[in-house]
A and B are shown apart, each in its own frame.
With several copies, the nearest count.
Chain A
Amino acid sequence: MTTPESESILPPEPAYAGGTLAPSAETHDSHYKVSLDVFEGPLDLLLYLIKQDEIDIYDIRIERITSQYMSYLDAIRTLNISLAGEFLVMAANLCYLKSRMMLPKHVQPPEEEAEEEDPRWDLIRQLIEYKKFKEAARELGEKEAIRQNQFTHSPDPIQSDEEGERPLDEGVGIFDLIRAFQKVLDRLKTGEGLGEIVDDRYTVADKIELLQQLLAPGSTYPFTALFDDATTKHEMIVTFLAVLELMKLNVLQTRQERVLGEIVIYRPAS
């Protein structure tokens, strides 16, 4: 399959419009490494070469454009960059056109439909169509940029007299907790080292007692803040297990105002 796997939905890093691309075969590596990703396909490359030469699309000189195209591909190949199949198909097509153009008119093999038509015509038409849509794509990109400067709000809580109408009020699943916990661990992982204290000084029972002191009946506490003071992963796990234990005993509850929002630990008054 010829699918260019590098074709990403996100833009390539280097800007095509930068104009630093020199298509001569002598130029060295980095340009070509950059450029292959920059061209969206063989038609795009051809348009670029035509623009460089400042010639009219209707007036392409096949011989010249073919040799430019080929030297471009050669340069890419010497760098051992794998080439999408489409670029090679176009190369073959160009060589074929070139050889046809070189023959005197009366010995040119008859094309199927096009009787008197210029053999370049198919390619020219394709280039023109492609160019129109390339332009349309650029305009879409401009619309996108404007749109992305406008923001809408995420669905918000609606105030109403009745409590309990909010979709996520019934407590958070254990999975949300595990995920939140994972987030804390990840953050710890990317932060500085966990310290070298090896002594496992905390037990779940200790932490249960601590949590009960921390949370007076009727009060709340942000879930992630429970781990702010933890110095080891072990301590965090123990704290987490203590929370789970207290939840099982109905001493603590969890709340989350919105999906993926901050989880809050709550200790009911009774």
Chain B
Amino acid sequence: MQLIQIVEALIYAAPEPVTTSEIAKAVRRAAADSDLPEARAWESLPEAEVAHVIDDLAQSLSEGGHAIELRETSSGWRFMTRVEYGDWIRALLPEMRPEKLSPAALETLALIAYRQPITKADIEAVRGVSVDAMLQKLIDRDLVHISGRADLPGRPMLYETTSTFMEHFDIKSLDELPNATELRRVPLPSASSPRTESQETSLLPGIEP
């Protein structure tokens, strides 16, 4: 039994992406309970060695001409099919036709992504339309969440993108957003007078409608 195989099995079996450090920690813990003689050495496995093994694994997959690759997402490593097989997979699984977000949803998300945390009024100031319903839909799809309240009159809520957002767009960090350096600094027209939030706040504090 080799470390590379354990790492492969682990990434494959994990229900969500796993980070290098999670893998290292888990292997150390499991090695301590193992009867295998080779496991002794893994009881103090450094993270750097796991990182190395992950590189080897990714390389062996791509050199072996596999349709599956090891990819690093914002929340860790996971196996994914290569882009070029997308059409073939959809022929087998027509129900997996992707649900693309609408331009309005993308605009709203872009604003939140680049300027988070941001208030609803500030989003509306740029988009020029009311975004109540849209925000609720984005929250329902777990692309956006409420991160707190701004220190402004009316204490408006602040919105941020989630890890689901990162996964959905395959972005590892916010710096990776297209044109990040420019857009994250652009001075925005902001809501001149912070509007009072609608019923959602007054009705059920803590339970978002």
A-to-B contact residues, CB < 8 Å: 1-5, 7-12, 16, 40-44, 84-86, 90, 122, 125-126, 129-130, 132-141, 143-162, 165, 173-175, 178-179, 182, 185, 220, 237, 240, 244, 258-259, 261-262
Contacts and interface: CB of A to CB of B under 8 A. Distances in A.
Interface in B127-159: 127-130, 132-134, 136-141
Given A147-B168, A151-B9, A151-B96, A156 B128 contact: no
Given A8-B104, A40-B129, A262-B16, 13 more contacts: A86-B129, A122-B189, A132-B179, A144-B101, A146-B170, A150-B81, A151-B81, A151-B85, A151-B89, A152-B80, A174-B207, A179-B136, A182-B198
A261 B78 CA distance: 14
A235 to B, nearest CB: 14
Contact of B209 (A90, A133, A178): A178
Nearest to A162: B86
Contacts of A152: 13, 78-81
A241 to B, nearest CB: 8
A132 B126 CA distance: 10
17 contacts: A4-B130, A11-B102, A12-B102, A84-B130, A126-B126, A126-B128, A130-B126, A133-B107, A133-B127, A139-B179, A145-B98, A147-B167, A150-B82, A152-B79, A158-B86, A160-B86, A261-B16
A173 B209 contact: yes
A129 B207 CA distance: 34
Interface string B68-110: 0001001100111111111101100000101111111111011
Given A9-B134, A149-B83, A244-B207, A137 B109 contact: yes
Residue among A136, A153, A240 with the highest chain B CB neighbour number at 10 A? A136
Q: Which of B96, B169, B209 has the most CB of A within 10 A?
A: B169
Contacts of B105: 9-10
A40 B140 contact: no
Interface in B1-22: 9, 12-13, 15-16
Q: Is the contact region of chain B dominated by helix, strand, or loop, or is it mixed?
A: helix
Interface of B: 9, 12-13, 15-16, 71, 74-75, 78-87, 89-90, 96, 98-107, 109-111, 113-114, 125-130, 132-134, 136-141, 167-171, 177-179, 182-183, 186, 188-189, 198-200, 203-204, 207, 209
B128 A42 contact: yes
Given A3-B130, A133-B126, A165-B90, A155 B15 contact: yes
A62 to B, nearest CB: 17
Contacts of B125: 126
A237 B202 CA distance: 12
Given A8-B102, A262-B16, A40 B83 contact: no
A143 B107 contact: no
A152 B81 CA distance: 6
B107 A16 contact: no
